[in-house]
Chain A
Amino acid sequence: MARAALKQRLGELQEKLGESASVHEQELSDLTNRIENLPRAKNASEETDQIRNAIVRLEGQSSGSQDVGSNPFTSEYFEKAEREAGIEEAHIAIRQGKDPAAALEKFSATDRREVWEQLSEEERQNTIANLSDAQQRELDRVLGGDEQTVIPPMVKNETVLENATAKLSRPKTDIQKLRDATSDAISARFGRKPGVRVPKTKGSVWYDEKNQAVHVVGGHGGEIRIQEGESYNFGSKKEGENWKKLVSLKDRTWSDDVSDRDKAAARRTFRATVPRELATKEEQAIPAHVQPDEGVTDAQIQAELERARHRAQELGIDTSNLSSAKPAIETGKREEETKKVSNITRSSLSKTVRMRRLFRKTADRVKKEKAQPWVSTSRGRGAWVKEPKKEPTQSDSADAKKDKGSMAMAVRKGGVDSVTAESTQKYNMIARGHYDIQHPEFRFRIMRNGKEEIIIIPPGIFDKDEVEKNKNDKTELLEMVYREQERQEGLKAAAKKGLDGSPPPTEKKEEIPLNKLAYGFVPGVDLFKRRIANWFGKRPETEMQKWVDGGKTIENQDERGYKEGMERYRAAVRARLEARKRGTIMSEAEHLGLSKTLHKFAEDWKKHKWKRIAISIGLTGLGLVGTTGAVAMSPFVLGGIASAGLAMRVIGGSITGLAVYNTMYAYFDRQNYAPWRSRLYAGLCAALAGGTVASGSYLLQHLGVTDAVMDSLGFSPTDVTPTPAGEGATTLTDISPTGKDDAISAVSPEDSETSDGVSDVAAGPEGVSHEISYDTDSTIASKGIDGLIDEQLVSNGGALESYNLPPEALEQFKDAARRVFVDHPEWAQALQQTDVDVIANNDVVFSDDGTINMRVWGDPRFLAALENTITKQEVAHLVPALGGEDRVHDLIDDLKQRYA
């Protein structure tokens, strides 16, 4: 049912998208494939949810009704932000004396003048006065050429220009005459000649806003209409290709980002507009009705759909129940019916896809079916060429024997270690293949056991060159695919075995599923998003959704869309901030003649990467980490930020997990853990640390990695300059113990081997040995919170004792810890009696669907604290890492019983 419903929905969406469907062609095609393959999905329910979300998202995009103000992820928002940042940047460049033409050229023709005129009259005059003649001419061209000159006419030497033009002009060929005629015709319609120059090209176009199109004289002399989202090659044979994509007709903006798919579409359009007298015989042979935009009408498609439904009914097949058809075909009749239905469902494919197939079919006929067993085209859409349907047998044709021979040869060549009778049988079943080399991942469409399958090999597994080299060797290529497929299946089975209680899979065998799991694994909200996104379809009313999104829904944002959207948005914010920095602060400094010193500061800032990280962490106000980070900053920065109060508070409250994550990642990375495992463990630590300062510090200490943490921050006991007596006691030293600017981000294993701090825990998680057993209640009762802090974190083997930190830094840390413990005494108590070294106990179980189940043993007060005291955002970090809301409740119940 789900599949039928999804197909129906996708069909409606395609109708709704109408002409703009081509913009989403790839996504629509992917969705069609995914729906087709739904029964074979590993987790059909999850896949259904994801497809549904993707359709809803596309639908949202097509409606165009998003409120820019309330939703920062709209393209309008990004474009606006990027445009403003771009304008500001151009102004700065011009003010700094850079070539104005270069600065303005990146804008659309209409924008350039606007951007230019936003400068003051004085600035414009000064700029022009400082330009060379050539630069002035270039500026003149950029700002509109002959029509809107900014340069006095006497600057131009008309005669020279005319002579040059005459010299360069070539004898007019027939095509040239045709171009001129077409140009005249278009010019007459639009009342201007020539058209408007397209940026960074030698081509001109006519904008037809009334009909939402751009007109251009094609290289063949015909007229071509370009619509938004479409592309055109403005290059020439002599100078090479120069593709531009029309981004906005209204704003007259063009983009260089032209995909191969766009180019292929443009070429088709181009061919379709070849004047009859210039068309090749092959082009003339293509019937007009298969030309794009003129072929199959919606009505025809609807009629065909109706016929298909009717035929399905005649066959007695319930098309609404296709998804329940068993993958394994039970009988020959059933197989036949399935094939027929498959054909019917194919007929309901989008107009675009059908047009393309019609086009190919005709083209193939014209080419007299020059069939190749394996076809790959430069357009990234290999034509499907059928091999004889008859399955080869022992007594089959010479071709089949040849195929078998090549298979045997492949085996003899070595390297094909998984060729078995079964795989030979599979190979013999292959009826057709498709290989799409342009796609980021490799897709193979094969026929196996009479069924069509799409095998997707993720990027990074196959070498593109190797695939390209073997594209005509079906045996080798398919063996590559099968080997990879079997490997993945084996790994999945191994991973599943581990979950079933059998010995855990080896590190190597875990690689694929866990890489998949670890991909994009980051602590905190992003992780939580991933989990919530999975849960959402099942639990739409969950409170956690509100916690994460402040009440907003996230059902329209699948993981990839969200991530990409957030990246784009962040880039826009960054661009604004950078523009502000340069445009406001630096400009003011330049105006006052103070820019030199400010530039030196900027250099210092960039130079000391580790300090910047420390500031980022220090800005967060992270007790241990933040304080030591602040100490590690240059005194000037400390004097600025720390005394301004930022050092302790800017980041900390919101993303404390970051610091824990960073430090833990550095630690695990130093232990030579695989990157994914380092991320995973660090994420777990960050999640466990929640969002409170001391809890994170305590956790780190409890895990016995305090030394490593400090070391990874750039501190080690032997490196820290001891506080000198007297005057030194109040001097903060710029400590750069490793002598490296990037001590945090680039910790080498070699460094770790020489670190005393690391060697204590070099055995890895199993080596955790810091057992702390305090009688917390009596400690607090007898010594108070300060005593607890002092005993646990400052002295008695505490985190800071061995570092001989300056008294002021110690005070800062104690102050932060005190604040947290006073605010959350239950943490102080519960955490001490809770064994949260989940890593040491290997009580982390990874399931195939990406869920992480982590067993936490400890005082129920710890979990009660989780339940009652931590903030929603902290829960957002923690709960998913614990395996979900239900899992947490189960754990709490379990632990309550255990400790009752």
Chain B
Amino acid sequence: MHSTGDKKIALEMITDEHVQGLMKDFGLENDTPEGQAEILDVIGETLMSRVVLEILKRLPPEEQPKLEKYFGSGDLKGLMAFLAPHIPDVERFINETVMNELASIREDMKRQA
């Protein structure tokens, strides 16, 4: 379980400018809120898929299927306990994964534009 202090640090990492920059990179800064939400939904799934994949990569093969039981289970504490032996500093790991994927998406979009 993370502390409030950690969250504050995390909160500072993604600012309004990040989000606006992301929307701008996507060319959606002037889209409707509904339109932006639609894309953000896809981004959300993309980011989370990446997080799941990166976690899976770090789990021993026999442990990988166990991750599934935490999907939608409500057992956050159990999840963190499950991940802790395999991924030290889970929060930082997830944070970095998300940020890297976000940057990668952004570059990808820019390159293709």
Give me the interface of A with B, judged by CB distance under 8 Å: 69, 72, 77, 81, 84, 522-526, 529, 548-550, 566-567, 569-570, 573-574, 576-578, 580-581, 585-586, 588-589, 592, 594, 597-598, 600-602, 604-605, 607-608, 611-613, 615-616, 619-621, 634-646, 648-655, 657-658, 661, 686, 730-734, 808, 811-812, 815, 873
Pairwise interchain contact A644-B34, C-beta atoms closer than 8 A: no
List the A side residues contacting B99 at CB < 8 Å.
Answer: 644
Q: For window 60-74 of chain B, which residues contact chain A by CB distance below 8 Å?
A: 64-65, 67-68, 70-74
Pairwise interchain contact A616-B44, C-beta atoms closer than 8 A: yes
Please, how many angstroms separate the alpha-carbon atoms of A561 and B51 in the complex? 38
Please, how many angstroms separate the alpha-carbon atoms of A81 and B50 in the complex? 23
Residue of B nearest to A604 (CB): B71
List the B side residues contacting A638 at CB < 8 Å.
Answer: 76
Pairwise interchain contact B4-A811, C-beta atoms closer than 8 A: yes
- Shortest C-beta distance, B3 to chain A (Å), equals 9
4 nearest A-B pairs in the assembled complex, by CB-CB distance: A653-B16, A645-B10, A734-B74, A635-B76
Given contacts A597-B67, A808-B1, 5 further A-B contacts (CB under 8 A): A645-B12, A646-B98, A650-B40, A651-B36, A658-B33
Pairwise interchain contact B27-A585, C-beta atoms closer than 8 A: no
- Shortest C-beta distance, A191 to chain B (Å), equals 38
Please, how many angstroms separate the alpha-carbon atoms of A634 and B53 in the complex? 18
Give me the interface of B with A, judged by CB distance under 8 Å: 1-2, 4, 6-20, 22-23, 26-53, 56-57, 64-65, 67-68, 70-77, 79-80, 90-91, 94-95, 97-99, 105, 108-109, 112-113
- Shortest C-beta distance, A585 to chain B (Å), equals 5
List the A side residues contacting B23 at CB < 8 Å.
Answer: 654
Pairwise interchain contact A592-B57, C-beta atoms closer than 8 A: yes
- Which of A566, A585, A641, A643 lies in contact with B49, CB distance below 8 A? A585
Please, how many angstroms separate the alpha-carbon atoms of A589 and B55 in the complex? 11
Pairwise interchain contact A612-B41, C-beta atoms closer than 8 A: yes
Pairwise interchain contact B76-A639, C-beta atoms closer than 8 A: yes
- Shortest C-beta distance, A539 to chain B (Å), equals 19
Pairwise interchain contact B105-A645, C-beta atoms closer than 8 A: no
Pairwise interchain contact A657-B33, C-beta atoms closer than 8 A: yes
- Shortest C-beta distance, B60 to chain A (Å), equals 12
If A566-B31, A598-B53 touch, does A581 touch B42 (CB 8 Å cutoff)?
Answer: yes
- Which of B8, B14, B64, B68 lies in contact with A646, CB distance below 8 A? B14
Pairwise interchain contact A658-B11, C-beta atoms closer than 8 A: no
Please, how many angstroms separate the alpha-carbon atoms of A569 and B28 in the complex? 9
Instruction: Show 19 A/B contacts (Cβ-Cβ < 8 Å), sorted by A.
Output: A522-B33, A525-B30, A529-B30, A570-B39, A576-B108, A592-B56, A597-B52, A600-B68, A600-B71, A615-B41, A635-B76, A635-B77, A636-B73, A642-B7, A644-B99, A645-B11, A648-B10, A652-B16, A811-B4
- Shortest C-beta distance, A740 to chain B (Å), equals 14
Pairwise interchain contact A616-B41, C-beta atoms closer than 8 A: yes
- Shortest C-beta distance, A242 to chain B (Å), equals 34
- Which of B15, B98, B109 lies in contact with A576, CB distance below 8 A? B109
Pairwise interchain contact A581-B49, C-beta atoms closer than 8 A: yes
- Which of B30, B53, B91, B105 lies in contact with A577, CB distance below 8 A? B105
List the A side residues contacting B26 at CB < 8 Å.
Answer: 573
Residue of A nearest to B36 (CB): A655
Contact residues of B: prevailing secondary structure? helix
If A635-B79, A645-B14, A649-B14 touch, does A525 touch B31 (CB 8 Å cutoff)?
Answer: yes
Please, how many angstroms separate the alpha-carbon atoms of A620 and B108 in the complex? 22
Pairwise interchain contact A598-B49, C-beta atoms closer than 8 A: yes
- Shortest C-beta distance, B35 to chain A (Å), equals 5
If A601-B49, A646-B14 touch, does A580 touch B7 (CB 8 Å cutoff)?
Answer: no
- Which of B20, B45, B80, B113 lies in contact with A69, CB distance below 8 A? B113
Pairwise interchain contact A577-B48, C-beta atoms closer than 8 A: no
List the A side residues contacting B43 at CB < 8 Å.
Answer: 577
List the B side residues contacting A529 at CB < 8 Å.
Answer: 30
Pairwise interchain contact A815-B8, C-beta atoms closer than 8 A: yes
Please, how many angstroms separate the alpha-carbon atoms of A372 and B9 in the complex? 79
List the A side residues contacting B15 at CB < 8 Å.
Answer: 649, 653
Pairwise interchain contact B39-A594, C-beta atoms closer than 8 A: no
Pairwise interchain contact B36-A648, C-beta atoms closer than 8 A: no
- Shortest C-beta distance, A263 to chain B (Å), equals 33
Residue of B nearest to A586 (CB): B49
List the A side residues contacting B113 at CB < 8 Å.
Answer: 69, 72, 77
- Shortest C-beta distance, B32 to chain A (Å), equals 4
Pairwise interchain contact B95-A581, C-beta atoms closer than 8 A: no
Residue of A nearest to B18 (CB): A649
Please, how many angstroms separate the alpha-carbon atoms of A576 and B80 in the complex? 33
Q: Which of A607, A615, A646, A733 has most chain B Cβ within 10 Å? A: A646
List the B side residues contacting A873 at CB < 8 Å.
Answer: 20
Pairwise interchain contact B91-A643, C-beta atoms closer than 8 A: yes
Please, how many angstroms separate the alpha-carbon atoms of A578 and B45 in the complex? 10
If A635-B70, A635-B76, A734-B74 touch, does A643 touch B4 (CB 8 Å cutoff)?
Answer: no
- Shortest C-beta distance, A319 to chain B (Å), equals 41
List the A side residues contacting B45 at CB < 8 Å.
Answer: 581, 602, 605, 612
Residue of A nearest to B91 (CB): A643
Pairwise interchain contact A635-B19, C-beta atoms closer than 8 A: no
List the B side residues contacting A642 at CB < 8 Å.
Answer: 7
Pairwise interchain contact B48-A640, C-beta atoms closer than 8 A: yes
Residue of A nearest to B16 (CB): A653
If A589-B53, A594-B57, A601-B49 touch, does A616 touch B40 (CB 8 Å cutoff)?
Answer: yes
List the B side residues contacting A600 at CB < 8 Å.
Answer: 68, 71
Pairwise interchain contact A585-B68, C-beta atoms closer than 8 A: no
If A646-B98, A654-B19 touch, does A72 touch B27 (CB 8 Å cutoff)?
Answer: yes
List the A side residues contacting B32 at CB < 8 Å.
Answer: 522, 524-526, 566
If A570-B31, A602-B45, A650-B19 touch, does A644 touch B91 (CB 8 Å cutoff)?
Answer: yes
Residue of A nearest to B99 (CB): A644
- Shortest C-beta distance, B88 to chain A (Å), equals 14
List the B side residues contacting A661 at CB < 8 Å.
Answer: 33
- Shortest C-beta distance, B20 to chain A (Å), equals 5
Pairwise interchain contact A815-B19, C-beta atoms closer than 8 A: no
- Shortest C-beta distance, B7 to chain A (Å), equals 7
List the A side residues contacting B53 at CB < 8 Å.
Answer: 585, 588-589, 594, 598
Please, how many angstroms separate the alpha-carbon atoms of A594 and B64 in the complex? 8
Pairwise interchain contact B74-A619, C-beta atoms closer than 8 A: no
Pairwise interchain contact A636-B71, C-beta atoms closer than 8 A: yes
Pairwise interchain contact B112-A81, C-beta atoms closer than 8 A: yes
- Shortest C-beta distance, A598 to chain B (Å), equals 6
- Which of B18, B49, B73, B95 lies in contact with A644, CB distance below 8 A? B95
Please, how many angstroms separate the alpha-carbon atoms of A892 and B33 in the complex? 28
Pairwise interchain contact B40-A651, C-beta atoms closer than 8 A: yes
Please, how many angstroms separate the alpha-carbon atoms of A550 and B24 in the complex? 11
Residue of A nearest to B2 (CB): A643
- Shortest C-beta distance, B47 to chain A (Å), equals 7
- Shortest C-beta distance, B113 to chain A (Å), equals 7
Pairwise interchain contact B10-A636, C-beta atoms closer than 8 A: no
If A577-B43, A640-B51, A658-B37 touch, does A549 touch B90 (CB 8 Å cutoff)?
Answer: no
If A84-B112, A577-B105, A641-B48 touch, does A522 touch B65 (CB 8 Å cutoff)?
Answer: no
Pairwise interchain contact B68-A645, C-beta atoms closer than 8 A: no
Pairwise interchain contact A650-B14, C-beta atoms closer than 8 A: yes
List the B side residues contacting A72 at CB < 8 Å.
Answer: 27, 113
List the B side residues contacting A652 at CB < 8 Å.
Answer: 16, 19
- Shortest C-beta distance, B64 to chain A (Å), equals 6
List the B side residues contacting A598 at CB < 8 Å.
Answer: 49, 52-53, 56
Pairwise interchain contact B44-A653, C-beta atoms closer than 8 A: no
List the B side residues contacting A550 at CB < 8 Å.
Answer: 29
Pairwise interchain contact A574-B48, C-beta atoms closer than 8 A: no
